[in-house]
Homo-oligomer: A and B are copies of this chain.
Amino acid sequence: MNPKQPLNPPTQQRALPGLTEKQIARLSVYRRLLQELPSASRPEIYSHDLAEMSRNTAAQVRRDLMTIGFTGSSARGYQVEQLIAAIGGTLDAPEGQTAALCGVGNLGRALLDYFTIWRPQLRIVAAFDIDPEKSGRVIHRCRVWPLAEMPQVVREQGITVGVITVPAPSAQRVAESMLGAGIRGFLNFAPTPLHLPAHAYVEEMDITTSMEKVAYFARTLAPAPVEES
């Protein structure tokens, strides 16, 4: 819902015709699945295999790869290594990209642990917290700064992604600070939709809503078929 428009303005050099949110999400999943393939397996893969792994249809996979201009060979499928690289060419910033996290609480610490050891292509490189007990320390190899330092740190390191794990009442204010410091993309774990101008991108990670969805469908879905005897 964030990008209602075709979502790709006359961007920079990367001239891909506006990929949508869903396409980007699927490409990300494809890549991760491909990277996890045991290297013993064949160097090619079929669309229907990738589809099965990612819980999609083969047609969906083929069309997604079509949109990034990647082409396989009939009867042998797609070259795994090349495909990983091609998806990377779309998803990854050539120069790399870095993220900042604000709110080093229960959730924030878990994410820090996860995304600092993670791939070099997209790492959390700075954290911020209002609590003076926390700022100044280094948690999971990531330095925690006081809020006042945010503008400088973000600008100096060229951080473009912000992860918000502060309590809900602070989320909007924190997001605006990050935006002011130059951050353009937001991953918001606080249970409050953020209101930011159109040139910012916001992804809501609403875990409570997801729980409620699961609970609802766990009740509502068709029951298991009775097994014949």
Residues 191-229 of A contacting B (Cβ, < 8 Å): 191-193, 195, 197-201, 203, 205-225
Residues of B within 8 A of A210 (CB): 25, 187, 203, 205
* Interface range on chain A (Cβ under 8 Å from partner): 35 or more
Q: Mark A98-111, 1 if CB is under 8 A from B, else 0.
A: 01000001110111
Contact B54 A193, beta carbon cutoff 8 Å:
yes
CB pair A218–B199 under 8 Å, yes or no, is no
Contact across chains for B215 and A199 when beta carbons are under 8 A apart: no
Copies of this protein in the complex: 2
Pick from B9, B118, B213, B223: contact of A222, CB under 8 Å = B9
Contacts of A223 in B (CB 8 A): 199
The answer to whether A206 and B106 have CB atoms under 8 Å apart is no
A185 touches B97 (CB 8 A): no
Q: Does chain B have a CB within 8 A of A7?
A: yes
Q: Which residue of B lies closest to A124 (CB)?
A: B211
* A71: interface (CB < 8 Å): no
Report Cα–Cα, A52/B102, bound state, in Å.
25
* CB-based contact A219/B106 at 8 Å: no
Is B185's CB under 8 angstroms from A215's CB?
Answer: yes
A3 and B91 contacting across the interface, CB-CB below 8 Å: no
Residue of B nearest to A115 (CB): B211
With the chains together, A180 CA to B193 CA distance in Å?
Answer: 37
| A164 vs chain B, min Cβ distance (A) | 11
Interface: A40 (CB within 8 A) = no
What are the residues of chain B within 8 A of A29 when measuring CB–CB?
193, 206, 209
Give the interface of A toward B (CB within 8 A). 1-3, 7-9, 11-12, 14, 19, 21, 24-25, 28-29, 32-33, 36, 53-56, 90-91, 93, 97, 99, 105-107, 109-111, 113-115, 118, 122, 160-161, 163, 168, 183-187, 191-193, 195, 197-201, 203, 205-225
